[in-house]
Amino acid sequence: MKDTLSRETLHWNGTTYRTILDASETGGAMSIFDSVSPPRSGPPRHVHDAEDETFIILSGEVELWMEGESFTRGPGETAFIPRGAEHTFRVISDHPCRHLVILTPGGFDAFFTEMAEGGYAIPADMAQIVEIAARHNLRFTGPPL
């Protein structure tokens, strides 16, 4: 078993990601990240074609958008995004949002690693990000909230 306390924290596009469990530790069943996003941040609309995604909000508040519907979640609340559903989120609190992200099956952690190691920025490097995302079953479908 890996030492989860000594894991490196990745920084990408203003957000930090720390892997709690990666696919190698779960037989490919899931990946779990501890993520901190700054106020008013959030990714472009996107679709995970191969993974279900669950958010567990630990602090802060987010507006989530899925398939044309908006809803908010705060500390202690969850949101489930089934694979194939177009979605995004935006931190709406004045302080960062810390949340756990569970992706099933696992393996998507490799996308965050590539983004952080490459120093890719949204929107400046979007063409390269889209190309890399495709290798990880991720499609961008529109702007952030």
Digit-by-digit pLDDT tens for the chain (145 residues) are: 454 555 778 888 889 999 999 899 999 999 999 999 999 999 999 999 999 999 999 999 999 999 999 999 999 999 999 999 999 999 999 999 999 999 999 999 889 889 999 999 988 999 999 999 999 999 999 999 9
Rounded to whole angstroms, how far apart are CA atoms 32 and 55?
10
Rounded to whole angstroms, how far apart are CA atoms 105 and 48?
11
Tokens of 114: 């590539």
How many residues make up the chain in this entry? 145
Tokens of 107: 């393996």
Q: Where are the domains of the chain?
A: 4-142
CATH topology of domain 4-142: Jelly Rolls (2.60.120)
Tokens of 81: 């995004």
Question: Apex CA 19: angle with CA 14 and CA 22, to 5°?
Answer: 140
